[in-house]
């Protein structure tokens, strides 16, 4: 070890420490990155999430056609749908429509195959529960009838709103035509 390299070691150390300390010091006047979830934030965090955010699944049963596409496509079988024949009305009813949030891996495949946009990812992610059973979402607590899409658009104003919401979700979230929609804008 020569004298030159000995001195170089010392000066290198001093210089690099000096440089590093100037960087850390400069961070004292930079804005911290932290988001102080959940209380010290200007707007609820759900509102700041992007449109495509894949949160907890929600189902609008009023516009669900009972096509079972979501149940079939789910790679993890977290969606279970039961459809029975109602003896009084002679129509098919949902006996249950359960989504096990414990199992769900938020891949988004179910919401993409849905023809009406009835099953969709919400911006919600706070799903804590005291037991696993509490994480199973029951969307058909009572038997409910299936939705039948009408030719020429929905006439019932209440349902029409819901159909529009579902369609809008499909257009914005799962855009199979990709660039075309963006191009038109």
Partner 1 sequence: MNETAQDQDTGFHTEDMTISVGPQHPSTHGVLRFVVKTDGEVISEAIPDVGYLHRSIEKIGEKVTWHGYVPYTDRADYLAAMFANQVFCMAAEKLAGTPVTRRGEFCRVIACELNRLASHLISVGTFGQDIGAMTPFVHALRERETINNLMEEICGARLTYNYIRIGGVGYDILPETCTRISEFLDHFEPIVDEFNRLLTGNKIFIERLAGIAVVSKEDALQYNLVGPNLRGAGIKWDIRRDIPYSVYPELEFEIPVGTGHIGALGDSFDRYWVRIRELQESCKIVRQCLKMLPKGPAISKVARKFKPAAGECYVRVEAPRGDMGFYVISDGSEYPYRVRIRTGSYTAMSIIDKLSKGIMLADLIVLIGSLDVDAPEIDR
Partner 2 sequence: MQAYLDQLIQGGAFAGMPREVVYAIGMLLAAFIVLSAFVAPLAGVTSWLERRVWARMQSRVGPNRVGPQGILQWLADGIKNLLKEDIIPTAADKKLFSLAPYIVFMGFLCAFVVIPFGGHLIVADLNIGILYILAVTSLVVVGILMAGWASNNKWSLLGGMRSAAQIISYEIPAGVSVLMIVFLAGTLSMQGIIKGQGWAPWDWYLFHNPFTFAGFFLYFTAALAEGNRTPFDIPEAESELVAGYVTEYSGMRFLFFFFAEWGNLYVIGAVATTLFLGGWQVPPLAIFENSPMLLAVAQFVTFFLKAYLWVFVAMWIRATLPRVRVDQLMSLCWKYMVPLSFICLLGTVAFMFVPADGQRITSAAMFGLGVAITIIFFLRVGFQIRQAKPELYFKPHI
Beta bridge partners of 93: 84, 145
Of the residues 2, 4, 11, 22, which one makes contact with partner 2 according to CB under 8 A: 22
Between CA 133 and CA 177 the distance in angstroms is 39
Between CA 18 and CA 15 the distance in angstroms is 5
Binding mask 101-140 for partner 1 (x = CB under 8 A): ----xxxxx--xx-------x-------------------
Of the residues 7, 20, 91, 160, which one makes contact with partner 1 according to CB under 8 A: 20
Other CB atoms within a 10 A radius of the CB of residue 117 amount to 24
Instruction: Tell me the closest approach of the beta carbon of residue 44 to partner 2, in angstroms.
Output: 19
Buried/exposed code over 7-37 (b: 16+ C-beta within 10 A; e: otherwise)? eeeeeeeeeeeeeeeeeeeeeeeeeeeeeee
Q: Which is nearer to partner 2, 40 or 90 (CB)?
A: 40
Instruction: Tell me the closest approach of the beta carbon of residue 2 to partner 2, in angstroms.
Output: 13
71 binds partner 1 (CB under 8 A): no
Beta bridge partners of 59: 119
> Which spans of this chain sit near partner 1 (rule: CB under 8 A)?
9, 12-13, 15-17, 19-20, 23-24, 27, 33, 49-50, 52-54, 73-75, 105-109, 112-113, 121, 173-183, 185
């Amino acid at each position: 070890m020569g004298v030159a390299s000995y001195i170089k070691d010392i000066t290198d150390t001093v210089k690099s420490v000096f440089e590093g300390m100037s960087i850390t010091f400069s961070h004292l006047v930079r804005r911290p990155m932290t988001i102080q979830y959940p209380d010290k934030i200007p707007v609820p965090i759900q509102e700041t999430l992007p449109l495509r955010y894949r949160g907890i699944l929600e189902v609008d049963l009023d516009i669900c056609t009972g096509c079972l596409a979501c149940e079939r496509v789910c790679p993890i079988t977290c969606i279970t749908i039961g459809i029975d024949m109602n003896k009084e009305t002679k129509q098919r009813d949902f006996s249950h429509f359960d989504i096990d949030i414990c199992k769900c891996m938020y891949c988004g495949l179910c919401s993409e195959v849905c023809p009406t946009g009835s099953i969709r990812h919400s911006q919600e992610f706070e799903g804590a529960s005291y037991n696993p059973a509490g994480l199973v979402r029951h969307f058909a607590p009572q038997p409910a009838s299936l939705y039948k899409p009408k030719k020429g658009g929905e006439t019932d104003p209440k349902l029409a709103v819901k159909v529009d919401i579902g369609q809008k979700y499909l257009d914005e979230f799962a855009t199979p035509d990709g660039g075309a929609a963006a191009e038109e804008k």
